[in-house]
Amino acid sequence: MNKDWTGNSNSIYKTLGASNHTDKHRQQQDYYATEPKAVELLLEVEQFNKSVWEPACGEGHIAEVFVKHGYNVRASDLIDRGYGEQQDFLFFNDEHWEGDIVTNPPYARAVDFVNKALDIIPDGNKVAMFLKIQFLEGKERKGLYKNHPPKIIYVSSSRLLCAKNAEFEKMIEGGGSAVAYAWFIWQKGYKGETVIKWIN
């Protein structure tokens, strides 16, 4: 059993069928949990600041892997899913975070999450977002990439999963996922070309 950054005891594996939250509650606000393997793969290729904030933490599937690797992890989510603190990342008063920011954000607000994250960290710090590969296209995103080109995009050669309401077993039984994901890495202030690399 691990402890989250607030000291609460939580196991990411409790989510695989044993959550104490109702389905209705858990479905709120675009809840898709990230397969922890995706985070392990990221940590094989990227190093982060010792302090990392997961600002849309869900039940801690990303945060717990960082904890396991020795990072100091702050975790928060708009919805109280039994992990971290309850906080709206897009509307809060603290305007600065001295560490890096890593999350799989609510997809519909992903551009806002990237902009907000880049706004509140120092130059040189990183933002890592686990996003659908389709996040590459779109007019609003073109504007984002013009202002803030990602430094690296890690495409997974084998499919990584994001499970609605963390129901990974149901997803696997149903034949897996039709959606491809990638890690998008921004380093604040970077203005060069975006490099694509393959993992997994």
Beta carbons within 10 angstroms of residue 196's beta carbon: 12
H-type alpha helices, the chain: 23-27, 36-45, 63-68, 110-120, 139-147, 168-173
Least distance CB 193 / ligand SAM (angstroms):
28
Least distance CB 179 / ligand SAM (angstroms):
11
Q: What would you report as the CA-atom Rg of the chain, rounded to the nearest whole angstrom?
A: 16
Of the two residues 79 and 128, which places its CB atom closer to ligand SAM in the complex? 79
Of the two residues 91 and 191, which places its CB atom closer to ligand SAM in the complex? 91
Distance (Å, rounded) from C-alpha 186 to C-alpha 81? Answer: 28
75 forms bridges with which residues in the sheet? 54
- Determine the residue with CB nearest ligand SAM: 58
Of the two residues 16 and 90, which places its CB atom closer to ligand SAM in the complex? 90
Burial class (CB in 10 A: 0-12, 13-18, 19+), 163: buried
Of the two residues 159 and 189, which places its CB atom closer to ligand SAM in the complex? 159
Least distance CB 11 / ligand SAM (angstroms):
14
Give residue 34's identity as a one-letter amino acid code: T
Binding residues (CB under 6 A) for ligand SAM: these are 29-34, 55-58, 61-62, 77-79, 88-90, 103-106, 109
Burial class (CB in 10 A: 0-12, 13-18, 19+), 46: middle
Of the two residues 55 and 82, which places its CB atom closer to ligand SAM in the complex? 55
Least distance CB 81 / ligand SAM (angstroms):
6
Least distance CB 192 / ligand SAM (angstroms):
28
